[in-house]
Amino acid sequence: MGYRVHKYKEPTEHKIVKAILKGLWWLLSAPFKLIFGRRNPGQMQQPENVNLDRQFVANKWQEIEQLLTLGQPSNYQRAILEADKVLDHLLKGHRAPGLTMGDRLKASRNKFSAEGYDAAWRAHKVRNNIVHNADYPVTDFVARKAIENFQKAISELI
**Shared-domain flag, residues 122 and 68:** yes
Confidence of residue 46 (pLDDT cuts 50, 70, 90): very low
**Shared-domain flag, residues 80 and 145:** yes
Q: Which residue segment(s) compose the domain that 83 sits in?
A: 58-157
pLDDT in tens, 67-122: 999 988 899 999 999 999 999 998 988 888 889 999 999 999 998 999 999 999 99
**Mean per-residue pLDDT over the chain, rounded:** 84
**Shared-domain flag, residues 18 and 64:** no
**Shared-domain flag, residues 23 and 76:** no
Q: How far apart are CA 107 and CA 44, in angstroms?
A: 9
Supply the DSSP symbol for 59: H
**Terminal CA-to-CA distance of the chain, rounded, Å?**
75
**Shared-domain flag, residues 82 and 18:** no
37 torsion bin: left (phi>0), alpha (psi -120 to 50), beta (else): left
Burial degree of 98 (CB within 10 A; 0-12, 13-18, 19+): middle
Number of domains in the chain: 2
Q: Measure CA 30 to chain center.
A: 29
Q: Is pTM beyond 0.85 here?
A: no
Confidence of residue 27 (pLDDT cuts 50, 70, 90): confident
For position 77, which CATH number holds? 1.20.120
